[in-house]
Amino acid sequence: MNKLCRTLLCLFLIAYGLHCLAQNAKVPFRQIERDAQLTANLNISDRVEALSHSSEAYAAPSASSSSSYMRPSYKQPRVLDSKYLLINGLHLGMAALDIGLTQHCIANHRCREGNPLMPSSLAGQVGMDSALVGSGAFISFRLKKADSKLWWLSPVAGISAHTAGVLSGLINR
């Protein structure tokens, strides 16, 4: 047996032993009950306090309103606005242009992929860049939804990296 198989077998046996020890451990039910009661009391008091303050947040319905329910007086921030779509669309466009110019340069034997973690094949680059652009868009969406001022940082970092790749592809064309 080689070293890798022995190491994996040892790790498996250790994890199984810890699992068996954890199954025989005593469960402190009194502590769990106290924690659950404390959490329940906190949740109930928070809800009562929120309900008492929520009556102030709702505006009275006007006579001209056709709906019978009360609307909140606050407005949620819009996440998918033109700025978000422009910056993340530019990130996607620069990634596609970078892939195209890199593949053209590789096919003409004038250059090679500069990123050692990026594959040289078209399918590999498309897969890798689509995952990076998608994760950057997701991160910026979550930050913008949380009303963070740095929601644009992830796509701008990708745009700058792909701009360097595009410039390198144009120079070696």
pLDDT tens digits for range 34-76 = 666 665 555 555 555 655 655 554 545 555 545 545 555 556 6
- Check residue 112 and give its pLDDT: 86
73 within a domain of the structure (yes/no): no
Q: Is residue 162 part of a domain?
A: yes
Does any domain span residue 110?
A: yes
Calpha distance 144→36 (Å, rounded): 34
CA gyration radius for the chain? 28
Same domain for 158 and 91: yes
Confirm whether 70 is domain-assigned. Answer: no
Does residue 77 sit within a domain? no
Are residue 89 and residue 52 in the same domain, yes or no?
no
Domain closes at, from 13, 41, 57: 57
76-111 pLDDT, tens digit per residue, is 678 889 999 999 999 999 999 999 999 999 999 888
In terms of domains, do 52 and 94 share one? no
d(CA 30, CA 22): 19
Q: Are 111 and 144 members of one domain?
A: yes
Q: Is residue 26 part of a domain?
A: yes
Residues 139 and 105 in one domain: yes
For residue 96, being part of any structural domain is answered with yes
Q: Is a pLDDT exceeding 60 seen at residue 19?
A: no
Q: What are the tens digits of pLDDT across the range 126-160?
A: 999 999 999 999 999 999 998 899 999 999 999 99
Q: Same domain, yes or no, for 15 and 90?
A: no
Asked if residue 62 belongs to a domain, the reply is no
Report whether 147 contacts 82 (CB < 8 A). Answer: no
- Helices 153-171 and 122-145: crossing angle in degrees, nearest 10, is 150
Report the domain count for the chain. 2
Domain that holds residue 145: 82-171
- Residue 90 and residue 38 in one domain: no
At position 44, the amino acid (one-letter code) is I
